[in-house]
Amino acid sequence: MDTANDVIIPIPPSANPRVVIIGGGFAGLKLAKKLVRQKFQVVLIDKHNYHTFQPLLYQVATAGLEPDSIAGPLRMSMAGNKDFYFRMAKVENILPEQNLIQTAIGKLSYDYLVIASGSTTNFFGNESIANNAFPLKAIPDALNLRSHILQNFEQAVITDDTEDLERRMNFVIVGGGPTGVEVAGALGELKRHVLPKDYPELDFKQMKIYLVEGNKRLLPGMSPESGENAKTSLKKFSVRVILEKFVDSFDGHKVALNDGRQIETNTVVWAAGVKGCLLDGISESSVVGGRLKVNHFNQVAGYDKIFAIGDIAIMETPDYPNGHPMVAPAAIQQGTHLAMNLRNLQIGKELKPFVYTDKGSMATIGRNRAVVDFPGKLRLKGLIAWFVWMFIHLIQIIGFRSKLVVFSNWVWNYLTYDRGTRLIIRPFVPRWEKDKKSQNV
């Protein structure tokens, strides 16, 4: 990147101190929206030009929604704000001594730097899984998975090899958290309502969906009741739940579990863990468990002017000794809180410690079923939980247009038992097939 090394990213001069925010996810976008109302120059950097509403990615992957419905252009979200600048760029490293960041398009100086780079899929160093399984953390992941699932069935109708057919009809989801449970439920719905219409030649009794979780129960982050309810609901979609087992390897055709069991499949969805998106240039001593250690003001350990919020930040508190959960509400709350603290810093007021408000958690399992844990003891399940789940996701999704589009898609899907978006628009070539001669994509 020699050419870009000397370039300074042009940003007009300002009388206000410059806050550079890395990442337009839930934390970074919320912070940017709060800061532009105060006396700061705000520069938001992201490698994509859009914000992703990650909780609904699984619906893009399972042909329920279009990518545009769950993503909003960052420039549109921030349009009309003065002294705000968006730059689409990948950040390469941070130079804290010089108050600079280095990106693929040049350098940028900051008065305050906020790292909101989020998290990415954690394959825990297992190369066979990293090479062959499908992550589900970004829009291209979701489109790849969708194309793969559909291409898989196109191949299933023409195969005369029973082993090949088995591998194409088996699906393994690893990770029994909300993402894994929601993917399994959505695949169960596709199996029951959508795919048999498209592929009348296939016998969908042969389609098997496995959900593998290392813990003793599903949804380990939620209440035991909700974990149990999710399991019961998944069984109604004939999802086979395998608990207390880990995946040792996946070569693209076969999953090996740690009890010696093997499952033939072409499709492993990996929802078993995430890790922080660390950036070069921050001292190793500030990293704990792959995340940036921050104090109660979200200041990164060892740095005055560098802050971290959202999934990338780990703040150890008495209530959360291992940091807050890596979820959207924590990210949004930290973004809001840091905007206030940066203002306090600017006017010489004392900083206030961040306190996380747990709003509860939830997961949906196909049509008409969900589980919701409110703070305290209130638990919901079934249809009422499903309505709560829909309502909360709709009010949170960015932008009124997306709300409208998501809502009309859901109404349509609900009434017709259909999924409209079954297009293979991003043909996916798995690694193990890239060299095959008879590639048909």
Least Cβ distance, residue 152 to its own copies (angstroms): 11
Q: Which of residues 374-403 bind its own copies (CB under 8 A)?
A: 399, 401-402
Nearer to its own copies, 197 or 431 (CB): 197
Least separation in angstroms between residue 36's CB and its own copies is 13
Q: Say if residue 1 is exposed, middle or buried (CB neighbours under 10 Å; 0-12, 13-18, 19+).
A: exposed
Q: Give the list of residues 6+ apart from residue 436 with CB closer than 8 angstroms, or none.
A: none
CA dihedral 231, 240, 365, 400 (to 10 degrees): 140
The minimum distance between CB 157 and its own copies, in angstroms, equals 8
d(CA 345, CA 96): 19
Give the other-Cβ count within 10 Å of 242's Cβ. 18
Pick the closest to residue 142 from 182, 91, 199, 176 (CA basis). 182
Q: What part of residues 69-88 is at the interface with its own copies (CB under 8 A)?
A: 71, 73, 75-76, 79-80, 85, 87-88
- Is 434 one of the binding residues for its own copies (CB under 8 A)? no
Among 97, 127, 160, 350, binds its own copies (CB under 8 A): 160
Interacting span for its own copies (CB under 8 A) from 119-127, 176-184, 198-206, 352-360: 198-206
Of 99-107, 172-180, 274-282, 306-314: span binding its own copies (CB under 8 A):
99-107
Question: For its own copies, which is the closer residue by CB, 136 or 139?
Answer: 139
- Compute the residue count for the chain: 441
Using CB under 8 A as the binding rule, whether residue 437 contacts its own copies is answered as yes
Among 66, 182, 189, 213, the active-site one is 182
Q: How many CA atoms lie within 13 A of 96 on its CB side?
A: 16
Binding status of residue 423 toward its own copies by CB under 8 A: yes
> In sequence order, what are the residues at sequence separation of 6 or more whose Cβ sits closer than 8 angstroms to the Cβ of residue 283?
302
The least CB distance from residue 102 to its own copies, in Å, is 12
Check binding of 199 to its own copies (CB under 8 A): yes
In DSSP notation, 277-332 reads: ---BTS-GGGEETTEEEE-TT-BBTT-SSEEE-GGGEEE--SS-TT---SSHHHHH
> Is 425 a binder of its own copies (CB under 8 A)?
yes
Q: Give kind and range of the element (H or E) at residue 362.
A: strand 361-364
Examine residue 68 and tell whether it contacts its own copies (CB under 8 A). yes
Q: Which is nearer to its own copies, 158 or 347 (CB)?
A: 158
Q: Which of 351, 367, 422, 429 is in the footprint of its own copies by CB under 8 A?
A: 422
| Identified binder of its own copies from the candidate list 91, 101, 139, 315, rule CB under 8 A | 139
- Per the listing, tokens 């499949």 go with 265
Q: Is residue 64 part of the contact set for its own copies (CB under 8 A)?
A: no
Beta bridge partners of 113: 20, 306
Q: Are strands 306-308 and 313-315 parallel, antiparallel or unpaired?
A: unpaired
Residue with tokens 């909700």: 226
* The one among 157, 355, 378, 383 contacting its own copies by CB under 8 A: 157
In whole angstroms, give the CA distance from residue 93 to residue 103.
7
Residues 20, 22, 129, 150: which binds its own copies (CB under 8 A)?
150
Taking the CA atoms of 117, 119, 125 and 128 in sequence, report the sign of the dihedral they define: negative
Contacting residue, 124, 391, 412, 414, with its own copies by CB under 8 A: 412
> Within 10 A of 66 (CB to CB), how many other CB atoms are there?
18
Nearer to its own copies, 85 or 210 (CB): 85
Q: How many CA atoms lie within 13 A of 341 on its CB side?
A: 24
Q: Does 12 bind its own copies (CB under 8 A)?
A: yes
Give yes or no for a contact between 121 and 139, defined as CB atoms under 8 angstroms apart. Answer: no
Number of residues that bind its own copies (CB under 8 A): 63
| Identity of the residue, 89 or 279, whose beta carbon is nearer to its own copies in the bound complex | 89
Residue 49 within binding range of its own copies, rule CB under 8 A: yes
Q: Is 182 marked active-site? A: yes
Segment interacting with its own copies, rule: CB under 8 A, options 182-190, 203-211, 231-239, 407-415:
407-415
Residues that bind its own copies (CB under 8 A): 1-4, 9-10, 12, 48-50, 66-68, 71, 73, 75-76, 79-80, 85, 87-90, 103-106, 139-140, 143, 150-151, 154, 157-158, 160, 197-199, 201, 399, 401-402, 404-405, 408-409, 412, 416, 418, 420-426, 436-440
Instruction: Give me the active site residues, please.
Output: 182
